[in-house]
Amino acid sequence: MSDILPHEWVEIHAGTRPEAPAVISGDAVLTYDDLNRRASEHAGRLLAAGAGPEAFVPLRATPTFDTVVAMIGTARLGGVIAPYGPHRLEGESPVGPETYAVVPTSGSTGRPRGVLLTRRNVASAVEASQRRLENDAVDRWLLTLPLFHVGGLSIVWRSLTAGGSIELHPLFEAGAAAMALRNGPVTMASLVPTMLQRILDADPGPYHGLKAVLLGGAPADASLVERALDVGMPVLQTYGMTETCSQIATVEPGAARESLGTTGPPLDGLTVEIVDGEIVVDGPAVSPGYLGRPPREGPYLTGDLGRFDSSGRLIVEGRRDGMIISGGENIHPAAIEAVIEEHAAITRAVVVGVPDEDWGEAVVAVVEAQSSAGGAIRDSIARRLARHEIPKRWIFTDHVALLPNGKPDRRAARTTALETLGISTGNL
């Protein structure tokens, strides 16, 4: 395994290809020479301000050149990159000499926690990703994900390690993203399903010249993936999390159609097992724990339910802690959401459980729909679900709340359901 880290690769590329673009934003270009020089200057300012090796360096991670410069400069100093978005991580507990970054979780179940990522975590995760995707110096990676989450941050690390370039979009705008993907020179992208759907709605294609479009962060309908594949967009479904420095499993390039419904085989270097239905991961990319918490021991229990198909491809079946138990039946929200979102009038759906005297929990669907014909929609979808999976209540809304990383905000959806149904939220 290579032990050269992204900030060290920037210096290497600046020496061999100084005028090559590292980051592009609109008409502005930051070359490897620019990035290398500005990162060194940033490291000098941190040192003058009293920061040194192992210093915890909080960074408001806006999608700008300055953020990328600060990340590389902090690492060059030997400090710990601590990007944050809406919520700054609390505390500056000792992180240890091997910590490279402290990255917030997505916060889908509460306030984000800081995940410790070591130098070994980052180097091994980047190398394993590059083996699977084969990205190199000619690739330009579209970055529309937040830089304070591991999905966006990993694009920076992967691209700069390979000597490629990043096309940075400060805000996700479907038309602009579609233009970048369709007309080049973007060759790679990382998207969540909502982004992909909006891109295809803005410009149905065809698309040419793309090497890979990673699709993760939330379950994706097979129909959405097929729609993208049909117009030349090589969508590779992927599964990962902050605690594993991003990717755990990713569909292999060229195998998208035969891998529909799966997230592909695990990446090299990771051991992935199913223990009592739960996905359990071990290997050099797995974090040693959380900021301010005792070190984690043993393999990492993801909290996700899954299984392998006959070809060794991982199928993710939803969150264990998001499981709804209604009338003694175990119900997986993600499976119901996938069926609901296949309806042409549905933009997005979040399925939650709410307290129910008769059933223990009742299944409720919070649905963002393009039609007010709720009864017809419900009837159409109900025919495709098992009896215990059919939502007891449907809440139609103009907008389902999203987290900054594009995932549905399940806590907000559950609050909406409880408030709409007149159930007290005092104990949430």
List of residues 6+ apart from 153 with CB closer than 8 A:
61, 71, 83, 101, 103, 147
User: pLDDT tier at 411 (50, 70, 90 boundaries)?
Assistant: confident
Mean pLDDT for 306-330 is 86
In this prediction, residue 92 carries a pLDDT of 61
Per-residue model confidence (pLDDT) at position 91:
60
Q: What are phi and psi of 370, to 5 degrees?
A: -95, 5
What pLDDT is recorded for position 93?
65
Looking at 318, 333, 366, the residue that finishes a domain is 318
Say whether pLDDT at 128 is over 70: yes
Identify the weakest region by mean pLDDT among 9-13, 50-54, 64-68, 364-368. Answer: 50-54
Mean pLDDT of the chain: 91
Stretch 334-343: mean pLDDT, rounded? 90
Number of domains, the chain: 2
Judge whether 62 lies within some domain. yes
pLDDT digits (tens, 9 = 90+) for 196-232: 999 999 999 999 999 999 999 877 888 899 999 999 9
Does the pLDDT of residue 109 top 50, yes or no? Answer: no
| DSSP labels, 10-45 | HHHHHHH-TTSEEEEETTEEEEHHHHHHHHHHHHHH
Does residue 339 sit in the same domain as residue 389? yes
Q: Please report, for the domain that includes residue 260, its CATH number.
A: 3.40.50.12780
The residue among 422, 410, 307 whose CA lies nearest residue 366 is: 410
Considering only residues 112 and 426, tell me which one the structure prediction assigns the higher pLDDT: 112
Q: Same domain for 377 and 305?
A: no
Whether residue 265 is found in the same domain as residue 349: no
The pLDDT assigned to 227 comes to: 96
255 and 237 together in one domain: yes
DSSP code per residue over 269-306: T-EEEEETTEEEEESTTS--EETTSPPP-SSEEEEEEE
pLDDT at 1: 52
Position 428 in a domain:
no
Mean pLDDT within 294-299: 91
Q: Is the pLDDT of residue 108 over 50?
A: no
pLDDT at 402: 85
Residues 400 and 274 in one domain: no
285 and 343 inside one domain:
no
The answer on 149 and 112 residing in a single domain is yes
In a domain, 425, yes or no: no
| Domain contains 163 | yes
Q: What percent of the chain has pLDDT over 70?
A: 95
Least confident of 91-95, 258-262, 315-319, 330-334: 91-95
Structure tokens at 338: 């996938």
Last residue of a domain, one of 292, 318, 344: 318
Confidence check: pLDDT of 372 > 70: no
Q: Looking at residue 347, what is its pLDDT?
A: 87
Residue 25, in any domain of the structure: yes
Question: With 50 as the cut, is the pLDDT of residue 428 above it?
Answer: no
Distance CA 329, CA 327 (A): 6
**Domain contains 1:** no
Q: Looking at the predicted structure, is the pLDDT value of residue 426 above 50?
A: no
Residues 33 and 177 in one domain: yes
Q: Can you give the pLDDT at residue 94?
A: 67
Domain boundary among 272, 292, 318: 318
Does 330 share its domain with 357? yes
Burial of residue 20 (number of CB atoms within 10 Å: 0-12, 13-18, 19+): middle
| Residue 425, pLDDT above cutoff 70 | no
- 238-272 pLDDT, tens digit per residue, is 999 999 999 999 999 999 999 999 999 999 999 99
User: Does residue 426 fall inside a structural domain?
Assistant: no
Of 104-113, 136-145, 160-169, 206-215, least confident by mean pLDDT is 104-113
Q: Is residue 263 domain-shared with residue 354, that is, in the same domain? A: no
- Residue 397 sits in a domain whose CATH number is 3.30.300.30
Q: Are residues 328 and 309 in the same domain?
A: no
Domain encompassing residue 349: 324-420
> Residue 22 domain-assigned?
yes
Q: Are 216 and 157 part of one and the same domain? A: yes
214 or 292: which leads in pLDDT: 214
